[in-house]
Chains A and B, each alone.
Chain A
Amino acid sequence: MNRRREAVLLALPATIALTVLFLVPMVLILAQAIVQEGLSDFAEFLTDSFYLDVLATTLRVSLVSTILSLLIGYPVAYYMARTSSGFRKVMIVVILFPFLVSAVVRSYGWMVILGTNGLLNQLLMAMGLLSEPAKFINTEGAVVLGMIHLLIPYMILSLVAILQGIDPNVESAADSLGANPFQRFLHVTLPLSLPGIVNGCVLVFTMSMTSYVTPKLLGGSKFRMMATMVVQEVNVNFDYNAATAISYILLAAILVVQVLLGISTQRGMARLGGGRDA
C-alpha cells in the first residue's frame, strides 16, 4: 500500500501540469466552440472537399513517412542491436545528432539542397542528367523527405530498444531448426519486434500528423496539412472555432489510426508465430 501511495505522489506533479496546461484548455476551447457555433465548424470541415483534401494529404504524408521510416530504420536498428563493434557508438551519436538541431534549421538545410538553384539541381545539371532545374522543393516528396529525416531517430531508437531485448539464441535456434534467413525473420524476429514497430510507428505517425514547420518550409505556401491549417485559421482568419474543429478532427484521426495499429499488431503476432496442423 505504501508503494502505491508513493507512486501516486510521484505522478502528481506531472498530472497537475498536464491537467492545468493541456486538458483544461482543450476542454475550454471545445466548450467555447460549441457554445458559440454548435457543431457547424465540424460539419463544414467534414463536408467541404477542400478541408477533406487537407486531411487526406496529412494522412497520406504521415503514412508514407511512417512506412518509409520503418523500412529504412529497421535494418539500421537491427545492425545496432546485434553488433558489438565500436562503430555502434558512432551510429548512436549520428542518429541522436539531429535532435540537437531544430526542425527549422534542418528544413532550411533541405531548402539549400533541394532549391531551384540548390545543390541537387546543380549536381544533376553538372552531371548532364538534367538540362534545366527540376522542381524538388515545394513538393509533397520534399515534405516526406524532410519528415523522414526529422522523425527516423524516434523509429530507430524504438526498434533498437526492442531488438536488443530479443535473445540472439532464439534466432540461432530458428537457424538450427532449418529456418532460412527470410523464414527466421518472418516467423521469429519480426513477430518478436512488433511492439517496437508499433511504438516507433505511433511516435513517427503522430509527430508527422501534427508537424507544422516541415510542411510549411518544404511544401511551400500552397501545401496544406492539418497543423498549418490550424495556424492559418488562428493567425490569418482569426477563426478560433474553426481551428478548434480542425484540432479535434486531427486528434480523432490520430486516435483511430493508433487503435487500428494496436489491434492489427496483436493479431499479427499470433498469426506469424503459430500454425495449424491436421
Chain B
Amino acid sequence: MATLELVHLRKEYKRVTAVKDLSLSVADGEMLALLGESGCGKTTTLRMIAGFETPTSGKVVVDGKELGPNVPAYKRNIGIFFQNYALFPHMSVYDNVAFGLRMRRVPPEETRKRVDEALAMVRLPDLGDEYPRRLSGGQQQRVALARALVTRPQILLLDEPLSNLDAKLRVEMQVEIKRIQRELGITTIIVTHDQEEAVSLAHRVAVMRHGEIMQLGTPEEVFDHPSSPFVADFMGFQTFLRGNCQGQVGDCVAFNCSGKRVLVEKDMAVGMEAGMPAILAIRSENISVRPSKGASEGEQGIVSGVIAHKTYRGHATRLEVTGAFAESLFPSIVGRCDLSEGDEVEVELPADSICVYVEKGQDAN
C-alpha cells in the first residue's frame, strides 16, 4: 500500500480560494477523514489528490513520489468512490467492476477472477449481469466500492460515501466500509460533513473550514477536546458561555459567567490566567438537570434556571434552560423526562468536561 502526503496544497479559482495552504500526511493503511461543511474545500482537496484538479501550488506526494500535472488522473493508481456512485449506466455490474482491469490490460482469466473476488468482498456475488439502474442504492454503492478497489489502488478516496443512504442502511454500510478498509489495510481518505461518520470510521479526523485545517487529531481528541469554539460547534457542542477567568481555585480554574462562578478542572483550562475573557463550551449530554429544591443554589457547579423549550427527539429530550446565564443552556436528557416547559430546575455543569477557549474578540468564533 502507500503513504500520502499533501504539502502546502493550495487551489485558487477565479473568485474564491477553495484550499489554502493545506498540509497533512496519511500513514500506510490509515484512514483519515476530512470533515467540514460544504464549501470548506474538502472535496476540492480530494479532487486534487485524484488528479481531477491541478493545485495552484503545493504538492501531492504518494509513497515519496510527487504526482504533478504530468501525472494525469488515469496514470495515478488511486481509487475513487463518488458521492453519487457514478456507475457506468450502459454497463452491467460485472463490466463496471471489470472496467479498470481491462483498461490496465489485465489478462481475461485474471480479470474474471478478480472481479468475482471483488463482488464477493462487497457481498454481491450474484448480481454481475444486472444493470446499475435495477439495483438499490445500497447495492449500487457496493458495486462502486468494488469497482474502486478491484484495481488494487495505492490510495482509496471516499467522497461522502454514506450521504445518499437512509439511516438504517447508513449504519450497515459504515460497518462494511470500516471492515473492508481494515481488511485490505488500504490508505484511505474519506470526505464527509457528518461528524459522527468521521469519528466512527477514521483513525484521524481533520476538521476543515474555509480551505484550512482547523484541527487534526484522533476522533477522541477532536470529539472531546475541540481546539476552537468553531470545531466545538461542529462536533456538536451546543452550550457556549462567555466568561472571565478569575484564576485558580484548588484543582480548578474559576470563571465568572454572567455573575456566576463556574469551575473547570485545571487540565481543561491550561493557559488561562485571571482576567482573560473566555468561552466555555459544554456538550449537551454532560449537563444534568433536576427539578429545583431551592436549597442547592450556590453549591459547586450548580445553577438554577427555567425550562424555556422542550423538544422530544426520540432517543433523547433536548431542553433549553434560561435564567441561569446570559446565554441559554442546552441540556439533553436520555430516557424519560418528566420536566416540562416553565419548570424551575437545577442544572449541574461538570467541571471535568467543559472546554475553555480564550475569546479573541466579537466574531472570533
Answer whether A and B are interacting partners: yes
Are A175 and B52 interface neighbours, CB within 8 A?
Answer: yes
**Does B84 lie within 8 Å of A278, measured CB to CB?**
no
Which residues of B103-127 have CB atoms within 8 Å of chain A's CB atoms? 103-104, 108-109, 111-112, 115
Task: State the CA gap A273–B86 with chains docked (Å).
Answer: 15
Among A21-29, A61-69, A166-174, A209-217, the stretch in contact with B: A166-174
CB distance from A179 to the nearest CB of B (A): 5
Q: Is B234 an interface residue (CB 8 A)?
A: no
Pair A172/B86 contact, Cβ less than 8 Å: yes
Would B51 and A175 count as touching, CB distance under 8 A? Answer: yes
Report the minimum CB–CB distance from A111 to chain B (whole Å).
45
**Is residue A19 within 8 Å, beta carbon to beta carbon, of the partner chain?**
no
**Residue of A whose beta carbon sits closest to that of B159:** A169
Q: Counting CB contacts under 8 A, is B325 at the interface?
A: no
A173 and B82 contact, CB distance less than 8 A: yes
Residues of A within 8 A of B72 (CB): 175
Judge whether A176 and B112 touch: CB under 8 Å.
no
Chain A residues near B92 (CB-CB < 8 A): 274
- What distance in Å separates the Cβ of A21 from its nearest Cβ neighbour in chain B? 40
Contact B112 A277 (CB under 8 A): yes
Question: CA of A172 to CA of B52 in the docked complex: distance in angstroms?
Answer: 7
* Distance in Å: Cβ of A18 to nearest Cβ of chain B: 34
Instruction: Name the interface residues of B74-116: CB closer than 8 Å to any CB of A.
Output: 74-80, 82, 84, 86-92, 95, 98-100, 102-104, 108-109, 111-112, 115
B147 within 8 A of A: yes
* Contact partner, A177, options B51, B115, B147, Cβ 8 Å: B147
Q: Is the CB of A275 within 8 A of B79?
A: no
Determine the chain A residues whose CB is within 8 A of the CB of B87 once the complex forms. 170, 173
| Min distance, Cβ B52 to any Cβ of chain A, angstroms | 6
| Residue pair B86, A170 in contact (C-beta under 8 Å) | yes
Which stretch (A3-11, A52-60, A156-164, A185-193) binds chain B? A185-193
The answer to whether A178 touches B86 (Cβ under 8 A) is no
With A175-B52, A179-B103, A183-B103 known to touch, is A274 a contact of B91 (CB < 8 Å)? yes
Interchain CB contact under 8 A, B98 and A275: yes
CB-based contact B74/A175 at 8 Å: yes
Q: Which one of B95, B103, B147 contacts A273 once the chains associate, using CB atoms below 8 Å?
A: B95
Would you call B51 and A169 a contact (CB within 8 A)?
Answer: no
B73 close to A172 (CB less than 8 A): yes
How many CB-defined contacts (below 8 Å) exist between A and B? 88
Contact assessment for A176 and B88 in the assembled complex, using a CB-CB cutoff below 8 Å? no
Q: Given A169-B86, A277-B109: A174 and B99 within 8 A (CB)?
A: yes
Chain A residues with Cβ below 8 Å from B52 are 172, 175
Q: Does B44 contact A (CB under 8 A)?
A: no
Q: How many residues from B make CB contacts under 8 Å with A?
A: 36
Shortest CB-to-CB span from A210 to chain B, Å, is: 33
Report yes or no: B74 in contact with A180, Cβ–Cβ below 8 A.
yes
The CA-CA distance from A83 to B230 in the complex, in Å, is 36
* A176 touches which of B74, B90, B109, B111 (Cβ 8 Å): B74
Q: Is B151 an interface residue (CB 8 A)?
A: yes
**Is A231 part of the binding interface, using a Cβ–Cβ cutoff of 8 Å?**
no
Known: A173-B88, A273-B88, A273-B90. A278 touches B108 (CB 8 A): yes
Q: Are the CB atoms of A176 and B102 closer together than 8 Å?
A: no
Complex Cα gap A245–B286 (Å): 90
Name the interface residues of A180-203: CB closer than 8 Å to any CB of B.
180-181, 183-184, 187-188, 191-192
Q: Decide yes or no whether B50 CB sits under 8 A from chain A.
A: yes
Please report which residues of chain A, range 3-53, place their CB below 8 angstroms from some CB of chain B when the two chains form the complex: none
Q: Known: A169-B84, A179-B99. Contact between A192 and B89, CB under 8 A? A: yes
Does A170 contact B95, Cβ atoms closer than 8 Å? Answer: no
Alpha-carbon distance between A275 and B91 when the two chains are bound, in angstroms: 9
Output the nearest chain B residue to A274 by Cβ-Cβ distance.
B95
Is A249 close to B, CB under 8 A? no
**Chain B minimum-CB-distance residue to A173:** B86
- Pick the contact of B104: A173, A178, A187, A269 (CB < 8 A): A178
Name, among A173, A179, A184, the residue most crowded by chain B CB atoms within 10 Å (CB to CB).
A173
Complex Cα distance A183/B75, Å? 13
How many angstroms between the C-alpha atoms of A188 and B116 in the bound complex?
22
Residue among B90, B91, B112 making CB contact with A278, cutoff 8 Å: B112
Report the separation of the CA atoms of residues A191 and B99 in the bound assembly, to the nearest whole angstrom: 14
CB contact between A178 and one of B82, B95, B151 (< 8 Å): that residue: B151
Contact B100 A178 (CB under 8 A): yes
Chain B residue, CB-CB nearest to A191: B90
Other A-B pairs beyond A173-B86, A176-B148, 13, CB < 8 Å? A170-B88, A170-B89, A173-B82, A173-B87, A173-B147, A174-B99, A176-B51, A176-B80, A179-B74, A179-B99, A184-B74, A187-B99, A275-B95
What 3 A-B pairs are tightest by C-beta distance, nearest first?
A: A177-B100, A169-B86, A175-B73
CB<8 Å pairs between A and B, sample of 28: A169-B84, A170-B86, A170-B87, A170-B89, A172-B50, A172-B82, A173-B80, A174-B99, A174-B103, A176-B50, A176-B73, A176-B76, A176-B78, A176-B79, A176-B80, A179-B74, A179-B99, A180-B74, A181-B74, A192-B90, A269-B90, A273-B90, A274-B91, A274-B92, A275-B95, A277-B98, A277-B108, A277-B111
